[in-house]
Chain A
Amino acid sequence: MSVGRHHLAWGLLAVVVIALVAYAEGSLSGYERTVLGFAGIYAMLAISLSFSNGLTGLFSLGHPAFMMVGAYVGAVLTFPANRKGFMLPALPEWLASVEWSLFPATLAGGIAAALVAAIAGFPVLRLRGHYLAVATLGLIIILRVVINNADGATRGALGLNGIPRHTDLWWIFGWLAAALLVCWRLKHSSIGRSLLAIRENEMAAACMGVPRARAKLAAFSLGAFFAGVGGVLWAHLLTNLTPGSFGIALAFMLVVMVVIGGSGSLVGAALAAIALTFLSEALRPIEQAMGAYGLVQIVIAVLLIAMLLLRPQGFFGSAEPSFLRRKAAGSRAGRPLSPGEEREV
């Protein structure tokens, strides 16, 4: 295979991001790096959500639930062993003595989240459309109640603080690249086309031999894996955790990113995530100066409603920016939906 124009574009993108991260780690303030970090985490979450929600048509609001699982698993694993005794007295002996570094903890958090998704998804994914959305919303509330009540191992509603600040921009943007790579490759493979077929017409997909239950569960679990990873990174960036952070507001924020970027468009979702993070950070000082609390959410909600009314398929539809795409004859995998087109049958 010869080197195409899209290879150059990807290479250039990678160089630019690496240079930016190196610059940011070297000379930006802690606050600026935290904002950048959140932009990266949100971008990763939006990519994985765009993969499972947008591409496969599984309208799940459960991402915060999986982040919560990942965040708590990761935080318990990396928490300083000498402080676990009095902070988290209910931990079993084998957990109380461990003190992992970030990478294995991130993997463990992601895998735990994927496992929860696989178990929960087995019954829940039989639902579709808004029924699936509300059932996964229920998942958030159920997990929050469980974590609040398991306060001996999580400190419950008090929140777990003093988590080591292991996350830096290299980790975040490394995982972002991994998420983009995995989801991109899957999207443009036969698996991605099966998933798209499920979204467009589930019965037709089944007739064509797509193992839809397995495919849906796999897409859902993959999304949850990256949500879990995002949760671990989040926990080690903020250094404190409360179950309340992973609520409806966060689910809503992530859905807005996917809707604005275009459901099924990975790069679109990532760009929307980064833009929205910067927008809300830019508005926050205004909100505080004017005492106008709620302003950020209002702006985001208005953006969402305007988008759904004026351009319901999002900026990119299901497609990716053309300069990153290989020119393949007859490939229609990323065809954007036209405005009035039905997505469900």
Chain B
Amino acid sequence: MTGGYLLQQMINGLVLGSVYALVAVGFSMIYGIVRLINFAHGDVLMVGAFSAFAILLVFGFPLWAAVLAVLTIGAILAMLIDFIAFRPQRSAPQVNGFITSLGVSILMQNLGILLLSGQPRPFNLPGWMRTNLDVLGARMTVLEIVTVAVTLLVLLGLTYFVRGTRMGIAMRATAENPLAARLMGIRVNKAIATAFALGGALAGLAGLLWAGRAGQIDPLMGFVPGLKAFVAAVIGGVGSLVGAVLGGYLLGFAEVLFVGLLPPSFGSYRDAFVFGLLILILLVLPNGLMGRSTEERA
């Protein structure tokens, strides 16, 4: 095995990890504030991908319009889901929220099949996004470089938002203790809606990037990234934003290395590996790398 091969694998891991981090951070933010495993998060990503498809390839708008659109549509959709399905049962047991999100996920997938057909559609970004560049001796497409850069920018912006703005502080207070936050005059539902909006916007953006990577989209495409985001969030410690980013990159690297370094016959065990890892981490390190042991998980 040569150094170049290893470098190429590391870069692949970095790109994959960036997409995972983008989805996981929204997922973890929603969990942190309402203690909800939002199974429908991946399906927001799917809607983002289809919106990008419509704007870029059906209506022929430029790329910046698609980026704006996926951010907006993702945010509105996630807030809408929260408003209709989750807000009425804030005081119900946690598991009810999880089952509801499972229902929302199945609903969205099948609405997608009903309205858009289950057949995969080709999704081709403009040609310049797909040209290969030489980076330190490894090959990266423009899309991959953009993916990594955008993820870093978004995460920096998010960190500023959560730490430095009034709404960010309100969100953190709500995550810490909703009742106390309400007593301090924080509009808890608004803070929660903001968390859903941010998470949804990031999922929509990730949908655009994911679709560009995969080259095709279909209504069930959100399932795998949604689950991977969950795994990434668990690795990092669900509820912790830094942890989710860390978990996303770790999972990206682990997956790429698992496929890249083991003989090809093991490649088909990739998903089994990811879930084996998940179960192992839940058992050995139930609070993840950065999570706090404020509640019982195991």
Contact = CB atoms under 8 A, between A and B. Distances in A.
Interface of A: 59, 123-124, 126-131, 133-135, 137-139, 141-142, 145-146, 148-149, 248-249, 252, 255-256, 259, 292-295, 297-298, 300-302, 304-305, 308-309, 312, 340, 342-344
A312 B223 CA distance: 26
A212 to B, nearest CB: 13
Contacts of A295: 110, 114
A128 B272 contact: no
User: What is the interface of chain B mostly: helix, strand, loop, or mixed?
Assistant: helix
Given A129-B94, A131-B282, A259 B297 contact: no
Given A133-B98, A141-B275, A343-B95, A308 B269 contact: no
28 contacts: A123-B283, A124-B279, A128-B297, A128-B298, A129-B297, A130-B94, A131-B282, A133-B37, A133-B98, A134-B37, A135-B282, A145-B271, A248-B223, A252-B103, A255-B102, A292-B114, A297-B109, A297-B110, A298-B107, A301-B104, A304-B100, A304-B103, A305-B103, A305-B104, A308-B99, A308-B103, A309-B85, A309-B100
Given A128-B297, A344-B95, A293 B114 contact: yes
Interface string B260-292: 000000001101100110110011001000000
Given A131-B234, A304-B103, 9 more contacts: A128-B297, A131-B297, A131-B298, A145-B271, A293-B113, A293-B114, A294-B112, A297-B110, A305-B103
A130 B95 contact: yes
Nearest to B277: A138
Nearest to A123: B283
A186 B88 CA distance: 35
B89 A308 contact: yes
Given A134-B230, A145-B272, A344-B93, A123 B99 contact: no
Nearest to B265: A149
B107 A255 contact: no
A309 B110 contact: no
Given A312-B96, A344-B94, A301 B279 contact: no
Given A141-B271, A148-B268, A343-B93, A127 B298 contact: yes
Nearest to B97: A130
A298 B110 contact: yes
A61 to B, nearest CB: 8
Contacts of B2: none
Nearest to B284: A123
B111 interface: yes
A282 B100 CA distance: 25
B279 to A, nearest CB: 5
B293 interface: no
B283 A126 contact: yes
5 nearest A-B residue pairs (beta carbon)? A138-B275, A294-B110, A294-B113, A301-B107, A145-B272
Given A249-B106, A252-B102, A297-B106, A340 B95 contact: no
Contacts of A344: 93-95
Given A133-B98, A138-B279, A308-B103, A127 B297 contact: yes
A134 B298 contact: no
A308 B103 CA distance: 10
A302 B107 contact: yes
B105 to A, nearest CB: 8
Nearest to A309: B88
A293 B37 CA distance: 28
B91 interface: yes
Contacts of B99: 255, 259, 304, 308
B118 interface: yes
A133 B100 CA distance: 13
A222 to B, nearest CB: 21
B166 to A, nearest CB: 31
Contact of B272 (A123, A134, A141, A294): A141
B134 interface: no
Contacts of A302: 103, 107
A142 B272 contact: yes
Contacts of A127: 282-283, 286, 297-298
B174 to A, nearest CB: 20
B252 to A, nearest CB: 18
Contacts of B102: 252, 255
B269 to A, nearest CB: 6
Contacts of A249: 106
B283 A146 contact: no
Given A126-B283, A308-B99, A298 B114 contact: yes
B92 interface: yes
Contacts of B223: 248
A312 B106 contact: no
A135 B94 contact: no
Nearest to A61: B102
Contacts of B268: 145, 148-149
A142 B275 contact: yes
Contacts of B106: 249, 252, 297, 300-301
B15 to A, nearest CB: 23
Contacts of A139: 275
Contacts of B112: 294
